[in-house]
Amino acid sequence: MAAAHTQDTMRLPAELLYQQEIEVLKKEDKGDVPPGWQMSPRAVLTYITGGKAGKLDITPKYIGNRRLVEMAIATLVTDRALLLIGEPGTAKSWLSENLAAAVSGNSGLVVQGTAGTSEEQVRYSWNYAMLLANGPTPEALVRSPIMRAMEGGSVARFEEISRCASEVQDALISILSEKTVSVPELGNETSARKGFSIIATANTRDRGVNEMSAALKRRFNIIVLPAPSDLETELSIVKKRVSEIAASYELKASPPADEALLKVVTIFRELRSGMTLDRKEKLKSPAGVISTAEAISLLTNSMALAASFGSGEMTDEDLAAGLQGAIVKDDDKDKLVWKEYLDNVMKKRGSEWRGLYQACREMNE
Ligand SMILES: Nc1ncnc2c1ncn2[C@@H]1O[C@H](COP(=O)(O)OP(=O)(O)OP(=O)(O)O)[C@@H](O)[C@H]1O
Ligand SMILES: [Mg+2]
């Protein structure tokens, strides 16, 4: 069952958002296409890291270590599954969605892992009305996204896998090792077609990848996505994603000035590492996560403020409101950490920071 997407869809899946890029990449593809894939591994790499397909510019989706992306793609060529782990907001979900879009043309076969995820959501369940009326029939079978990916030879995604109970993780072990799901009620089984794989994501801050069973971990190639290594990389990620997201919301505000971007990313990097960028001063870090993703959403929120209630130009007040929300979550301690940062670092930074300092100081009263 394909989901219906129109111009009004709130968020387009990657395969529709970048439909033209995918089409051209397929057309210009000169590499060998693995069975069940829609393009060669090299074309997938270009799709993810950016480049050219014929005359068309392919925008980079994941910005960072290219080698990691190559390893991720190479994993999908084999029959091993891929597990992307890392701190929150390091683009695990985003990379997994885009890999599925490029390899299979469908990023929508997703199981969302929670403490309440059941084995049925990983394997199959029944349409109970039909089951009661006619007994177990193929029509009454409700296939999980994973089972549908097996049938179609495509990539399924499993988000936040480490949050699932161990029975659910065990169900996955058998799927990954046998590559079949048997349905005893119907006396048959579904075997995976070539092209089937699973990309799972897990967050190292949550209950923990360490609690995943060793048997399950062994079935995955694990790739750790790091936080952006330097200021320039993080700036380019934030700049690119903010303009893309603002465009999709049709926000009538100017994109943040480079100066505002630089300030936000500087503040985030310093608070995250517990040290000023020049490494001269130690700082306290807030308890919450201050990831690249948070910087992106803070800036789009500030743009929304400026567009809806301001002149359309983001002001220091708009930015201060965003920073306050991102850095001071619910913790009184964060308020203190932020105050110390403001007074010990930002205040001493000279005139370009003056306006933002005052706006933040007022917000944090
Ligand atoms: N290296 C990067 N390249 C491109 N985009 C990035 C990068 N790092 C973060 N982002 C952006 O950050 C946003 C959030 O990423 P995503 O939701 O995939 O994070 P996540 O690792 O799945 O986080 P969580 O652990 O909270 O689920 C996305 O818009 C993504 O584009
Ligand atoms: Mg995620």
Per domain, the residue ranges of the chain are: 65-225, 231-364
Identify the pLDDT of residue 319. Answer: 93
Question: Which residue is associated with the tokens 């890392």?
Answer: 86
**Which residue has a Cα nearest atom 27 of ligand 1?**
88
Distance 127 CA to ligand 1 centre (A): 36
Contact 265 CB / ligand 1 (< 6 Å): no
Q: Which of 18, 94, 201, 242 to mutate to test the pocket of ligand 1 (most atoms within 8 A of CB)?
A: 94
pLDDT at residue 4, rounded to an integer? 67
Do the Cβ atoms of 361 and 342 come closer than 8 Å?
Answer: yes
Task: Classify 65-225 by CATH class.
Answer: alpha beta
Q: How far apart are the first and last CA of the chain?
A: 52
Q: Nearest residue CA, atom 12 of ligand 1?
A: 293
Shortest-distance Cα residue to atom 16 of ligand 1: 91
Residue with CA closest to ligand 1 atom 23 = 89
Which atom in ligand 1 lies closest to the alpha carbon of residue 63?
Answer: 3
What CA–CA distance (Å, rounded) separates 67 from 70?
Answer: 5
211: CA distance to ligand 1 center in Å? 23
Ligand that lies nearest to the alpha carbon of residue 59, given by its number in the listed order: 1
Single-letter code of the amino acid located at 342: L
Q: CA 178, 179, 180 angle in degrees (round to 5)?
A: 85
Q: Are 267 and 323 in contact, with CB atoms under 8 Å apart? A: yes
pLDDT of residue 6: 65
Q: Is 147 exposed, middle or buried (0-12, 13-18, 19+ CB in 10 A)?
A: buried
Ligand positioned closest to the Cα atom of 243: 1
How much distance in Å is there from the Cα of 10 to the middle of ligand 1? 18
pTM of the model: 0.92
Q: DSSP string covering 31-79, please?
A: SPPPTT-SS-HHHHHHHHH-EEETTEEEPPSS-S-HHHHHHHHHHHHTT
Each residue's pLDDT, cut to its tens digit, for the chain (365 residues) gives: 455 676 677 788 999 999 999 999 999 999 999 999 999 999 999 999 999 999 999 999 999 999 999 999 999 999 899 999 999 999 999 999 999 999 999 999 999 999 899 999 999 999 999 999 999 999 999 999 999 999 999 999 999 999 998 889 889 999 999 999 999 999 999 999 999 999 999 998 776 666 788 889 999 999 999 999 999 999 999 999 998 888 888 888 888 889 999 999 999 999 999 999 999 999 999 988 789 999 999 999 988 888 888 888 889 999 999 999 999 987 789 999 999 999 999 999 989 999 999 999 999 98
Whether 94 is in the pocket of ligand 1, judged by its Cβ within 6 Å, is yes
Phi-psi region of 141 (alpha: psi -120 to 50; beta: other; left: phi over 0): beta
pLDDT at 1: 46
Q: What is the per-residue pLDDT across 139-165, written as a single tens digit (0 to 9) for each?
A: 999 999 999 999 999 999 999 999 998
Q: How confident is the model over 109-132, as pLDDT tens digits?
A: 999 999 899 999 999 999 999 999
Q: Is 150 in the pocket of ligand 1 (CB under 6 A)?
A: no
Centre of ligand 1 to C-alpha 61, Å, is 10
Q: What is the pLDDT of residue 248?
A: 81
Pocket test for ligand 1, best of 205, 292, 294 (most atoms within 8 A of CB): 292
Rounded to 5°, the CA angle 56-296-85 comes to 85
Q: Which residue has the tokens 């690119």?
A: 240
The whole-angstrom separation of Cα 266 and Cα 280 is: 14
- Ligand 1 atom nearest the C-alpha of 205 is 25
CA 89 to centroid of ligand 2, rounded, Å: 7
Strand 155-159 relative to strand 197-203, pairing: parallel
- Look up residue 178 and give its two tokens: 């046998």
Give me ligand 2 centre to Cα 249, in Å: 21
